[in-house]
Amino acid sequence: MKQQSGFTLIELIMVIVILGILAATALPKFVDLSTEAKVAKANGVAGAVASSASIRYASSKVSATGYAYSDTSACESGTYLEGGFPSGCTGVLTGKSCVITCDTQPSTAVTIP
């Protein structure tokens, strides 16, 4: 007699059920990644603004030309960034702290020199 090998229908259904349970458990972890991505975008832009303002500040100190820095240009209008802010991003300056908001998600406050 010839012996057949393979899986029974019950075994295949059980594997599909187990995979479905695992997928349903893991799905909520991946659904909320968009918020984290928006915060990371805002933090990246805020870091770029702070870095470019620091470079401009250091350059003015080295060349002894004086620091011609406008508070609103670095944070609120994005003029220190080539091409300005990415779409969906705006900046607010409070004292020397700049907070960039991208897609309604604020960044951490960075200090502008």
Q: What's the per-residue H, E or C state across 80-105? A: CCCCCCCCCEEEEEECCEEEEEECCE
The answer to the question of residue 105 being in a domain is yes
Residue 27 lies in a domain: no
Contact predicate 97/76, CB 8 Å:
no
Within a domain: 44: yes
- Could you tell me if residue 24 is inside a domain? no
In-domain check, residue 6: no
In total, how many domains does the chain have? 1
- In-domain check, residue 100: yes
pTM, rounded to two decimals: 0.66
Is residue 18 in some structural domain?
Answer: no
CA distance 60 to 43: 26
Range of the domain at 77: 34-111
What string of pLDDT tens digits covers the 113 residues of the chain? 667 778 889 999 999 999 999 988 888 777 777 888 889 999 999 888 888 888 887 877 787 766 555 556 778 887 778 888 888 889 888 888 889 999 889 998 888 87
Domain annotation covers residue 47: yes
pLDDT at residue number 43:
92
Q: Which two three-digit tokens encode residue 40? A: 């990371």
